[in-house]
A = this chain, B = another copy of it.
Amino acid sequence: MGQPQQGGDTEKPPLGVGMVGYAFMGAAHSQGWRTVGRVFDLPRRPVLAAVCGRDGQAVRAMADRHGWAAAETDWRALIARDDVDLVDICTPGDSHAEIAVAALAAGKHVLCEKPLANTVAEAEMMVAAAEAAQERGQMSMVGFNYRRVPATSLARSMVAEGRLGTLRHVRVTYLQDWLVNREFPLTWRLRKEAAGSGALGDLGAHIIDLAQYVAGERLVGVSGLTETFVRERPLPGGASSGLSAVSGAGGGTGAGSGVGTVTVDDAALFTGRFASGALASFEASRFATGRKNSLRIELNAERGSLAFDLERLNELSYHDHTEPGAHAGFRRILVTEPDHPYLDAWWPPGHGLGYEHTFVHQARDLVHAIAASRPPVPSFADGLQVQRVLAAVEESAEKNSVYTPIAV
């Protein structure tokens, strides 16, 4: 497989990355690790040491394509490698807990894709392991990459600076439409045992984390409503492909005939309250026809408002309510200025970034945290709290939408 790809300066101490899973998230994380040291000044030099997947041929091809120095077919072997300092978990949620706990036990730093786990119990176990490991100097982070869009990061800093004042409303939707077609096959993302939940865990986890991150406060209770619009779908054919249809750690195999039952939600709506008393509205759906990756968040507060749309990720809308009404209005900040988050390392103003750059930024922040022995955010504890919100939504949905407090 040749020389490992190296993210950046050769004189810096290396940080060996071992990645488990190599589908959509695997490709995105590869891009992040390969690019980060070329763009940012880092205290350590990320090395793409090894990637792991169950299908040997496929994982070797992926390693060759993406510049991973080695390929493994057993994640335990990957964890055991000396050249791996950091384990990057990109598998479906059902294997997160086992891999993460083992990696931490093996003395590795861990980056785990979201949602942290499929259940609160698993997530609690992971937090315990992460906190113990942290005392040994190992860092853990969960991959809520949408915190690393420059525009959302700018939103967070504007809230933190007090520009918005008392929060009144948070309104978030994450809308996709890849399940509208009733013939879309029953992939792992539609089976509860692999995915935990549907739109709720996949999309809802993102917007719960993002809303709490930008708002700087947590939800205290929710009232949920979920639905599975299409309850039976064709089983996927042999070598299923397509980013949404492939199992991250192994690939989907199926009879390719007959139908199966969808066991997760197609859409989830919930309202809730933040600690400050602000009201929240959330909607996650894979049936929002025409909306491809429409994560929108808006905050309304006493001194101003912010709005963001992932489909226009280089922009942040800001209304400053302290201005005279005659000249006030939502302004479109093009978040490409050198003093915007992450932007001093990139291109001149107006030359926008894309989706994948969130993974570059995530890698940057994690490398800095590891080098400084400073716990990165979002922590596993943050991931657990999101899990608790998800669990409360599910519990509420099962109980006729009754308002359900978030466990602390």
Cβ-defined contact, B173 with A171, below 8 A: yes
Cβ-defined contact, A292 with B336, below 8 A: yes
Q: CB-defined interface of A297-333 with B at 8 Å, one 1/0 digit per residue?
A: 0001111110000111110001101000111111111
The reply on A106 being an interface residue by CB < 8 A is: no
Question: Assembly of this chain: how many copies?
Answer: 4
Complex CA distance for A277 and B173, rounded to whole angstroms: 20
The reply on A407 being an interface residue by CB < 8 A is: no
Known: A271-B223, A279-B227. A287 touches B351 (CB 8 A): no
- Interface hub of A66, A178, A349 (most chain B Cβ within 10 A): A349
- Interface hub of A65, A270, A290, A403 (most chain B Cβ within 10 A): A290
Q: CB-defined interface of A83-121 with B at 8 Å, one 1/0 digit per residue?
A: 000000000000000000000000000000000000000
Complex CA distance for A311 and B349, rounded to whole angstroms: 10
The reply on A184 being an interface residue by CB < 8 A is: no
Complex CA distance for A223 and B319, rounded to whole angstroms: 30
The reply on A131 being an interface residue by CB < 8 A is: no
The reply on A64 being an interface residue by CB < 8 A is: yes
Cβ-defined contact, A285 with B325, below 8 A: no
Residues of B within 8 A of A133 (CB): none
Cβ-defined contact, A350 with B38, below 8 A: no
Complex CA distance for A175 and B305, rounded to whole angstroms: 12
User: Which of A28-36, A211-219, A254-262 lies at the interface with chain B?
Assistant: A28-36
Other-chain contact of A347, B168, B300, B355 (Cβ < 8 Å): B355
Residues of B within 8 A of A154 (CB): 326
Select from chain B the residue with minimum beta-carbon distance to A268: B279
Cβ-defined contact, B271 with A288, below 8 A: no
User: Which of A3-11, A70-78, A136-144, A378-386 lies at the interface with chain B?
Assistant: A3-11
Q: CB-defined interface of A393-407 with B at 8 Å, one 1/0 digit per residue?
A: 000100011110000
Complex CA distance for A327 and B28, rounded to whole angstroms: 26
Residues of B within 8 A of A279 (CB): 225, 227, 267, 269, 285
Cβ-defined contact, B337 with A326, below 8 A: yes
Select from chain B the residue with minimum beta-carbon distance to A304: B289
Complex CA distance for A35 and B287, rounded to whole angstroms: 33
Complex CA distance for A234 and B352, rounded to whole angstroms: 30
Cβ-defined contact, B352 with A313, below 8 A: yes
Complex CA distance for A158 and B324, rounded to whole angstroms: 13
Complex CA distance for A9 and B61, rounded to whole angstroms: 9
Cβ-defined contact, B269 with A168, below 8 A: no
Cβ-defined contact, A318 with B327, below 8 A: yes
Residues of B within 8 A of A350 (CB): 176, 291-294, 310-311
The reply on A180 being an interface residue by CB < 8 A is: yes
Cβ-defined contact, A287 with B354, below 8 A: no
Q: What size tier do the contact residues of chain A reach? A: 35 or more
Other-chain contact of A293, B313, B327, B349 (Cβ < 8 Å): B349
Known: A38-B66, A288-B300, A290-B330. A244 touches B321 (CB 8 A): no
Cβ-defined contact, A329 with B339, below 8 A: no
Residues of B within 8 A of A269 (CB): 271, 279, 281
The reply on A334 being an interface residue by CB < 8 A is: yes
The reply on A340 being an interface residue by CB < 8 A is: yes
Complex CA distance for A158 and B327, rounded to whole angstroms: 9
Known: A2-B10, A173-B171, A267-B279. A304 touches B333 (CB 8 A): no
Other-chain contact of A31, B38, B289, B325, B403 (Cβ < 8 Å): B38
Select from chain B the residue with minimum beta-carbon distance to A176: B350
The reply on A67 being an interface residue by CB < 8 A is: yes
Other-chain contact of A223, B35, B349, B401 (Cβ < 8 Å): B401
User: 6 pairs across A/B with beta carbons < 8 Å?
Assistant: A1-B10, A31-B38, A168-B229, A168-B287, A169-B288, A318-B327
12 further contact pairs, Cβ within 8 A, besides A24-B348, A168-B288: A2-B10, A31-B35, A38-B67, A169-B283, A290-B330, A292-B350, A311-B314, A311-B350, A312-B312, A318-B327, A318-B329, A402-B402
